[in-house]
Structure 1
């Protein structure tokens, strides 16, 4: 769910990923307290919307929710389009979303890299 802003702004615009709780939520509060328009993002629409509602109840008016899964290219593109359309710019990006692990395709690595990774236990 998106909340449309549709107004040009001279305020700085920030995106905080993984911001519906914990450190991300606190970063949103700090930025909003300092006059920054903040896009609070989260994978879960319900949790993200609830976080923004609680912030607004606490007096943080310049916070908007937008769904974002940083591992999904279509989700990233949707956020980028929203930022471009609604604000025309992005001043601050705080990448707080956690992604665990990587997958390495050993068959496509060159032989020296493959040997080094195998020896290190990766």
Structure 2
């Protein structure tokens, strides 16, 4: 079970990310939005999705970066690098750090 949770955490970002689009004034992305996107993307453990969302938001990823993460796009599901998905270099570094933190922090709670 622990291995499947680890795998889920490692693939969470690519399942969430997509090329960003632009609205004039998009709504702020909340922790709940990120958790829902994780669950809609295939992470069936709600507690793990909530924990991961808390870390992604707490890591300081910009609203633009979070919007990129929650847009589900089949073309980008196979991508593994946040920068290639449309995130800024700074947000991509934060997302990679968050993913590492998810593996260590969220899986301990399981």
Q: Please give the TM-score of this superposition, normalised by the length of structure 1.
A: 0.31
**Greater helix percent: which structure?**
2
Bigger radius of gyration among the two: 1
**Greater strand percent: which structure?**
1
Q: Please give the TM-score of this superposition, normalised by the length of structure 2.
A: 0.33
Higher RCO (CA < 8 A, seq sep 6+): 2
